[in-house]
Amino acid sequence: MLTTDTARDRAADIVSRARAAGADAADAIVHAAASIEVSVRLGALEDVGRSEEEELGLRVFVGHRSASVSTSDLSSAAMDQLVERAVAMAREAPEDPWAGLAPEARLMHGAPPDLDLADRTDPSPAMLKEAALAVEDAARAVPGVTNSEGGGASAARGVIALATSHGFAGAYATTSHGLSASVLAGTGGGMERDYAHHSARHRAHLESAESIGRRAGERAVARLDPGRLASGPMPVVFDPRVGASLIGHLIGAIAGPAITRGTSFLRDCLGTRVFAPGIAIRDDPHRPHGLRSRPFDGEGGAVSPVLLVDDGMLETWLLDSASARQLGLEPTGHATRGGPGAPGVGTSNAYMVPGAASPAALIADIAHGVFVTELIGQGVNGLTGDYSRGAAGFVIENGEIAGPVAEFTIAGNLKDMFRSLTAANDLEFRYATNVPTLRVDGMTIAGG
């Protein structure tokens, strides 16, 4: 696989070729990855998969016209053909007055921070098989578990490099390790499924296979014999593994492209209170070994920790260069680059700052409500903020989590939900976006 130095040099080389071929400006991204995944089921090896890929994406500008192309053939001859095709396409493209490279003053300069994103060693297939068997065994050992969809273990290593024609060239390496189990409890038509998983940059930081497997089994068993909820308004408490989706809706609503198009329900809310007082949401690209940590953004821009929401007040949009120009603002270091095309916008390690109350205290005064552990469907209107999703979880009675419930819908409007949200104190950094247990009062439940 490419080293960081080789990947950076290749990105810089094709940018130089593009300029020599007539492009006024250009940038290039090189991505290389190798991964291996082992899956088992019912104690037997089911599959071993390995993949390797190298891809280069080139974006060129001729005046205000631009084009993007990509290739997995990194030979010198292929690079010449790619450049020729990209410049020809750009000359025929429509003009976009907002397109262009990131401002030079906003680029990352100097040595990148050491974020400790890459493990030094790679597990063997035999080690991954052992871990996959262990996580499934732990899940199947939980009383009440009757079948398995399998256990899995994976490891991946990647390199990302970016170069621009106005002086930026950088690269960094990453690794990721994962462990998961999915099992079923019960019999016949009353079977219930659930899962557990954990991902980490370093294998040593993975939760134990026994803990992950046991949690998967206990979750499946706890869902057996679900009841039905009566319809009506009630408090909804979100488990952290599903509550993070609420932050995802916020991120989509404050992304620059949604603001410039006027298609966000928060388009007029910058500098106003959108959450309850005391709520804070941060984005930290410099978190050591974070799942989305990065030394620079998708345009080579410098990145730093940012307060998205402070004491309930919306503090910033998430801007790449194009949306920043259109709004007359500065880029915020949130450009993302998932492929050869124009940058998108997104956060790194976004999280909600924990509150003061424990989860138990958060629900102690709920006479009748619901604790949601699963969300189904995508019924969210980004233009209006209207929210309606299928759900499953557990009923809350007299301040205690009681029996399982399923096949109900929770509905509201995200503006109202944000303003009535309360955060517990149990934040853990387990995912790319993390929240503690969340309570939202006054939601509408449509029971089965």
Which residues touch 209 (CB under 8 Å, ≥6 apart)? 131, 134, 135, 138, 179
pLDDT reported for residue 296:
97
Q: How confident is the model at residue 211 (pLDDT cuts 50, 70, 90)?
A: very high
Q: Give tens-digit pLDDT for 178-197.
A: 999 999 999 998 999 999 99
Phi, psi (5° rounding) for residue 426?
-105, 35
Task: Please give the pLDDT value at position 110.
Answer: 86
Question: H helices within 180-297, ranges in order?
Answer: 209-222, 240-253, 256-261
Confidence of residue 252 (pLDDT cuts 50, 70, 90): very high
Asked whether residue 106 falls in the same domain as residue 254, the answer is no
Range of the domain at 38: 4-221
Residue-wise pLDDT for 295-314, tens only, equals 999 999 999 999 999 999 99
**pLDDT tier at 234 (50, 70, 90 boundaries)?**
very high
- Mark whether 15 and 152 lie in a shared domain: yes
SS3 at position 315: coil
The verdict on 212 and 236 lying in the same domain is: no
> Among residues 202, 221, 240, which one ends one of the domains?
221
The residue out of 169, 188, 221 marking a domain boundary is: 221
Is residue 250 scored above 90 in pLDDT?
Answer: yes
Q: Which of 200, 221, 242 is the last residue of a domain?
A: 221
Task: Note whether 300 and 162 are same-domain residues.
Answer: no
Together in a domain, 255 and 403 = yes
The reply to whether 78 and 175 lie within a common domain is yes
Whether 389 has a pLDDT exceeding 80, the answer reads: yes
- pLDDT recorded at residue 111: 83
- Give 151-174 pLDDT, tens digit per residue: 999 999 999 999 999 989 999 999
Q: pLDDT tens, 100-117?
A: 999 999 999 988 889 999
Q: What pLDDT shows up at residue 338?
A: 77
Measured CA angle at 261 (ends 258, 267), to 5 deg:
60
Q: Supply the pLDDT for residue 112.
A: 84
Q: Does residue 185 share a domain with residue 248? A: no
Does 151 lie in the same domain as 82?
Answer: yes
Is it the case that residue 270 has pLDDT exceeding 80? yes
State the pLDDT confidence band at 430, using cuts at 50, 70 and 90: very high
CB neighbour burial string for 276-298, b if at least 16 within 10 angstroms, e if fewer: beebbbbbbbbbebbbbbbbbbb
Q: How many other CB atoms are there within 10 angstroms of residue 137's CB atom?
A: 17
The pLDDT of residue 448 is above 80: no
Dist. CA 197–CA 180, nearest whole Å: 4
Q: Are residues 273 and 195 in the same domain?
A: no
> Is residue 120 very low, low, confident or very high in pLDDT (cuts 50, 70, 90)?
very high
Q: Clarify whether residues 111 and 232 are in a common domain.
A: no
User: Does residue 134 register a pLDDT over 80?
Assistant: yes
> What's the domain count of the chain?
2
Same domain, 355 and 418: yes
Residues 346, 396: one domain?
Answer: yes
> For the chain, what percent of residues have pLDDT higher than 90?
95
Tens-place pLDDT, residues 21-35: 999 999 999 999 999
334-384 residue pLDDT tens: 999 977 778 999 999 999 999 999 999 999 999 999 999 999 988 899 999
Confidence band of 177 (pLDDT split at 50, 70, 90): very high
Average of per-residue pLDDT across 317-330 = 97
Size (the chain), residues: 448
By DSSP bridging, strand 232-238 and strand 368-376 are parallel
Q: According to the model, what pLDDT value does residue 347 have? A: 97
Q: Is the pLDDT of residue 326 over 80?
A: yes
Calculate the alpha carbon distances from 323 to 64, 100, 143, 296 in Å: 15, 11, 54, 18
